[in-house]
Structure 1
Amino acid sequence: MTKNNVIKPMTLAISTLALSVQMSIAGEAKFIEPPMVNIPAGTFHMGSDRGEKDEQPIRQVSVSAFQMGKYEVTVAEFEKFIKDTNYKMPDNCYQYVLGGANREVLASWDTNIYNFSKYHPVVCLPQKAAVAYAKWLSEKTGKNYRLPTEAEWEYTLRAGTRSRHFFGEDKQANKSCEYANVSEWYAKNMSASQFPGAYVRDVEQCSDNEATLSMVGLYKPNPFGVYDLVGNVMEYLADCYVDNYQNAPTDGSAVITKECKETVVRGGSWHWEPWPSSQRGSMSADFLGALEGFRLALDTGGKALPAQVGNKQFVKQLNLAQAKVKAKHKQNPAYPAAPRGLNSSITAKDKVLLTWQNNTEKFVTGYSVYRQDPMTNTTSAIAKGINSSSFIDKAPLKHNARYYVVALNNETESMKSTFVDSGFITEHTLPTKIEGEAYSYAQDIEVKYSVLEPEEDKIINSIGKNKSSYIVNIDKARIFSLDARVFHSGQEQQFEIWLGDTKLAAPKLSGERGWKTIKDLSIELPAGKHFITVKGEQDMFAVNWLDFKTI
């Protein structure tokens, strides 16, 4: 990018007439000026060497003083804009972000299922509507409201920190529930009833007491005093999305390209785990979803002005609404931590003994044990409400099974413990087709359904950057032709196939994201019993099957 491709925020003169036009004859505000937080001028390191490639290279950026919206723009504020301008809003918003039976039901900003109150963030709007709102409010007030630039946004979020999150490193991500509405225990328990048939993620080991979108300002602010920068809604920014920071501006200005097909979004949402401070997202102009909202920046011409308190009636009503929700949060049951230290062993009588550490919370009322059959991807509770920290599966599956344990507070379940395998080994005699889920040993993998594969072949082994091993029997040394059905993330990568300590092959994956069949890999194997291991390179890597054929 050259200097011609960036713009610096412009400053409008503050009008002394703004107060006189703010109120209608009836006394109701025609527009709502938001409470703002003064962000001091400063310099920071933007990006991360630990993140994705689009977060690199790290560069030093200087940001002038400005003001950032204390909260995300709410339905109440946006409603004033619509009533005053009759702005035509789209009604093709994909509102059921978790899928389920109603995933094709579309909506608009005022008809979506997350329109819980006037004090929730407005969603189901395109970035251009957020820009139009800022322009309208600027005209009403004589001030320069606009969308924040990406540099301003990250600078505000970090608030002088250099850690992965402003509240700590990745291992402290469960602290996010103090500061943000993210995917966590409460969402896991509640979303299944709100989105029947949808897949609900297991994410953070904490509870923020909200299942989906929350009212603004319910949690702790960041060190600058800004709320909900992590979670709740992804926030539209002023920048066009570019997939790296090469030649990006260092003065805090926005990146503007000739063909701005995608704009930057930041902060993650209630639907995901907490995004690190450097994580970026993009949104195309032709897609409309319910996870995106925005907050405003106020251009002060680089001056450190006193923080704007905002419309007093709006702030008063918002504070009352927040207090009611917080009181309701206190009535929710406490969630135990996930049990730790789960181990399995096979007893002398071929039973499976499971042991784990007792939870320390006094409100824990027991434990439940679940068993997954990887070959059918079915999970069942084989013990409910037991009081001890051990259990014997007296009727284990004859092939490998996976177990996990949850702690209970009466009807409330903790998140899952780590998975452990039963230890019953599945062996495969070559030549044969080995299903990905028929592994002999694996760690930190997930057996689940693919939504893209044929109905009769949906069970997959999601390996990611981990590995999965298969014991094979070979009657005599020979060369096999191997076909592998694998999932490719869309970013160029390779996966590895190992025989013990020997790397047999490392085929490359490229092209569009999706399932691919890698064909006719030549694999020479000796006679005997061996471990064949498949290892991934990226988070989104999975194996459906491996087909060993004689040549």
Structure 2
Amino acid sequence: MKYSFLLVLSVLGALTAHAQETNSVGMKLVPIPAGRYYRGSEGEGENADEAPVHRVTISKPFRMAVTEVTNAQYEAFDPEHKKLRGKAGFSKDDDEAVIFVSYPEAVAYCEWLSKKEGKPYRLPTEAEWEYACHAGTVTDFSTGRFLPASYQKSQKTDRTPVVVSLKVGQNPANQWGVQDLHGNVEEWCSDWYGPYEAAEQRDPVGRASGLYRVTRGGSHGTPMNFLRATNRLAMIPEDKHWLVGFRVVQAEKPVSQPLPAIPPKANAQNVSQKPFAWKAVSATQPVFLEPIRYVNKPACDAGVPYYSHNHQPAITWASNGDLLAIWFSTERESGREMTVVASRLRAGQQKWDAPSEFFKVPDRNMTGSSLFHDGKGTIYHMNGVEASGDWQNLAMVLRTSHDNGATWSAPKLVAPEHEKRHQVIAGLFQTQEGWLVQACDADAGPTGGTAVHVSKDGGKTWVAPYTDPQKPDYKTGASGGLIAGIHAGVTQLKDGRLMALGRNDNVSGADGIAKMPMSTSADMGKTWTYSPSEFPPIAGGQRLILRRLNEGPLMVIAFTHHPEEPDESKKGMLFTDASGKSFKGYGMYAALSFDEGKTWPVKKLLTDGKYRYLNGGAWTGAFEMNATNAEPRGYLALTQTPDNVIHLISSSIHYRFNLAWLQQKMLAEAAKQ
């Protein structure tokens, strides 16, 4: 019965090819018949949002534009858009799909066209779009199981965008006379993004509210999986880039009621709003608590998008006494399935909550997160959002919470261009002037430096100071506004200068041995000068910490060497035990400076000397902790709570200690184990 009905629809659709109409801007439209279809797929993993399959009725026919809106058609409404032609190399001609158009701009175009034509124009609903794309078929593509080569335009993840023609209407129309639904550019739909429900629906219009508007169809520079009829994508409504355009339908809006807004995730549920009474730990009593895991796999039936690779954390404290940690979960670091998940260590508890989703723009890579509590009740969350996969062309978004992370403001594009210099690094901090400083990797590779972004108005506006970003030179000091090394830790010195330490782009010391590079800036990141630090370099799978402790000293946490270092003479560092005897230690250590980074007299291996089997997750894996061995690598993030306890997380493990413990030499009897 199902297939007979679809066959009837296909026959009806074939007849529409003779019913085209052309409006005053040269846009061709074809009628789409009313009918029913099965929306979604039995998707799993990154395609889980396509499930469950459910029956949808489109109760009224409508007209749909044969192709995406072109530059000429859009610029009849907004002539200023001509300035964006050729941006990133794309869409220069009149008959190419318009791009760099946000959701509000697409809606404004529809309103303009409605007045001009005297007929109702709008964006399609997600259900209408998929219905028209299937055009009576049940296969991944209206062309069958596969999409012919002629439709394909660099169908892979392109770190650097590959310029292709976006000329519309270059391939055969589907069974209902519509073109360019698989690829070319993604298309805005009118729905707020949210999960499907299993019940049969009539003229569905999405969720009542949300954070992201649905886009459909996939684009150039995108793997084939994202061009399927059932694939769902979405974007922050104000976002715009070279992968997304839109098409219109001519019809009144459906009158059906939207589904309820999405309820909060577990990390935002049952969040206490009672202020916590922080009691400072003794300044003289050493504290080192048992390391615990904060990355814990959720239950299989929890419905949490959780993948095999969990990495790149950030952490902060909340006024209610909770700790909040976030990190990305993905199958591959260049994957579109990447999501940001969160876990809470609730006040008084000893075990972290199971993770739940924290921030995810659907089908976009989400590399790079930071969290920061300003000490006055506001938590800042900064995150990167890619146009597609990979992690090079990121925009930066900011959210804030004033209720301990129970609710967050809508994501705001504070650096809206999808480009380099936007890969967020954990370590957002506030200067003595009250300015916010966010460090970001300047390149997607293993070298290339770190940029800073500065806000002087509490996160409302941001600037990225630099001279010439194309000419970083760590030997001459002609910086181009870049810190030497990626994944840099940045802090402010008491004299107002910024100081940073980074990974790679190493600088040789007086002895000719490569050292971790130190960068300083007297103009808040516009220019930098470079020198060798006294610390050994770090490399892949390692990220350092540089910050000022509540008590005043500067602290570095890094690693003695890289685990894959082939030269035995370069492995480990010398430390001193409680008896004054030197010993060689390996792995993660902390160093303290009491003279603004000139000297670092305290260096301590981050272990209490006990034997433990631990698993650092991500690139670290299993290791043994003992008197001479600490965690060998990991991406580090840190917060210090108002009671002065230092909370350090690596890619999987949560460490807790205080300044008195760092200043206490390792017990001689532990060192003998």
Instruction: Report the TM range for the smaller structure's normalisation.
Output: 0.3 to 0.5
**Larger relative CO (CA 8 A, sep 6+): 1 or 2?**
1
Structure 2 length-normalised TM? 0.35
Structure 1 length-normalised TM? 0.42
